Amino acid sequence: MSTGIVGRATATTLIGVHAHVVLIETVILPGLPHYSIIGLPDTAVSEARERLRASFSYVGLPWPRERVTINLSPSALPKTGTGLDVGLAIAILAAQGYKPLEDKVLALGELGLDGTIRPIRGVLPSVVAAQEQGFTTVIVPESNAGEAQLVKGIKVIPVAHLAQIAQWMGGGVEPTCSCSHQSSQQSVTTGKKIGDMADIYGQPDALFGAEVAAGGGHHILMIGSPGVGKSMIAQRMPDILPNLTDQQAIEVAIIRSIQGISSTHLDYRPPIAAPHHSASIASLIGGGSTIARPGAITSAHHGLLYCDEFSEFSPRAIQALREPLETGQIDIARCAAVVHFPARFQLVAATNPCPCGKRLDGAGACSCTSRDLRTYQTRLGGPVRDRIDVVIHLNRPTRADIQHGPTATTEQMRERVQQARQRQYTRQQTLNSQLSGTWLRAHTPLSSTMSKLFDTRLRSGQLSMRGMDRIMRLAWTVCDLAGHQHPTDDDLALAFSLRTALEE
């Protein structure tokens, strides 16, 4: 029966890693039975009609037999996914005369044909968006309750069935949760520790390079023959990084929520993503035919992106890393919108020195032709190579190196990295790898010797302005690890050697 009442509810839609609040307005008008949704709904939203009709029938709720018009506002914002189902049901009930919910209540969830409310992706960013816009209460699927409760200061009402909402809107009591979800913001470690840096023998330069990279958040490339320890160092690097901050842990949890990974706790350990060298561009940087999904670089946000056999990645995939390596985000254009995904990761790449892998094993060991070498080395690409800060060559350790014992343990390296990062946050509130060129040139004292060295490299084309800035950033990290107030000539010379090893 036509009531003339405009039923309202609020839900969210996801674009990238951000949730946008959507106002759902429903009106039932006289006319032949018809159901229409306007406001840029995608296929999943349009198909909600059949899910709603079936669930209303199963629960025993009246389904309008006249003209039902539903408006999703703002109209210019694309609406995607099944998370609007519960909000649509609430708006239809309100339009039929049921008691409307308060204005500051947000509703999330997908409806099953039997009225069950199923979990959805992106509950955490939706609750965060609701809190930022002043909502006091959020209705979520029971399975997503623990994730929603990670956001403090907002009331979470978990529901398992449409009948609970109908009873509430019909004058009954507010739904209560029969589950025992408890969220926690305590630190947890994902996965188990693979090993200790003390397991690596005969590679002091590589371990120092890894420590410098971790200390300032710099990108690192390790070049060496198979079996010299590149993968061992890369796999142990997450263990020398300090824990994430509260804000960083929330951002990582939001990304995982978008990917459908729900958790009742915040993980304070830096994430690590390790795409295979055959990975497509879409799986690496994100993409999709209709809805853009985050890729490996976004999964590694505030953590490490480990690319083994880096030279074996497709040239297009390597070049696709140029923007995120520099800006810390990736922009993916779709016909309806441009999606922005965060990608402030630290690249840890490893590669063989040549196609056969034996170029560093001594004279006569390598069987590659000059053409093979040129083709192989150009795969890294000049622009990407220019964005890599630390380059380390690993040689095969000798028996004497092995007998000498380990260089350092993971605990020792982690302590030094943590102290170096603390100096950076105290001095400039950010990591050295993110310092601007203006700040570097204003705060990095150069002796006449180092000035001449920079000038010579710049004029000869051996060094770009970006490369000079990256050397200065490295010098500050070497300085912080050594406990100096300002980079010395030795710190700058060491930064030069770490940065220019790829040219050798």
**Among residues 407, 427, 444, which one ends one of the domains?**
407
Q: In 346-373, which positions are buried (b, 16+ CB within 10 angstroms) versus exposed (e)? A: bbbbbbbbbbbbbbbbeeeebebeeeeb
Quote the CA–CA distance of 439 and 385 in Å, as a whole number.
Answer: 23
Domain span at residue 290? 197-407
**Residue 210 and residue 154 share a domain:** no
pLDDT of residue 3: 67
* pLDDT tens profile 394-430: 988 877 777 776 778 999 999 999 999 999 999 999 9
Per the domain annotation, does 182 fall within a domain? Answer: no
pTM of the entire structure?
0.91
Specify whether the CB–CB gap between 86 and 11 falls below 8 A: yes
**Residue 231 and residue 86 share a domain:** no
Specify whether the CB–CB gap between 70 and 37 falls below 8 A: yes
Number of domains composing the chain: 3
**Residue 440 and residue 403 share a domain:** no
Chain-centre distance of CA 190, in angstroms? 15
Per the domain annotation, does 187 fall within a domain? Answer: no
Residue type, 167: Q
The first and second tokens of residue 165, run together, are: 């909402």
Going residue by residue through the chain, which has 504 residues, state the pLDDT in tens, using 9 for 90 and above. 666 799 999 999 999 999 999 999 999 999 999 999 999 899 999 999 999 999 999 999 999 999 999 999 999 899 999 999 999 999 999 999 999 998 899 999 999 999 999 999 999 999 999 999 999 999 999 999 999 999 999 999 999 999 999 999 987 878 875 444 455 545 455 455 678 999 898 899 999 999 999 999 999 999 999 989 999 999 999 999 999 999 999 999 999 999 999 889 999 999 999 999 999 999 999 987 777 899 999 999 999 999 999 999 998 999 999 999 999 999 998 776 789 999 999 999 999 989 998 888 877 788 899 898 888 888 776 788 888 999 999 988 877 777 776 778 999 999 999 999 999 999 999 999 999 999 999 999 899 999 999 999 889 888 888 889 999 999 999 999 999 999 999 999 999 999 876 555
* pLDDT tens profile 75-115: 989 999 999 999 999 999 999 999 999 889 999 999 999 99
Chain-centre distance of CA 84, in angstroms? 25
Residue type, 60: G
242 prior amide bond cis, ω within 30 = no
Per the domain annotation, does 139 fall within a domain? Answer: yes
- Which residue stretches of 429-488 are H helix? 437-443, 448-460, 465-482
pLDDT of residue 1: 60
**Residue 397 and residue 462 share a domain:** no
Per the domain annotation, does 339 fall within a domain? Answer: yes
**Residue 88 and residue 15 share a domain:** yes
**Residue 447 and residue 354 share a domain:** no
- Which residue stretches of 4-74 are H helix? 43-46, 48-59
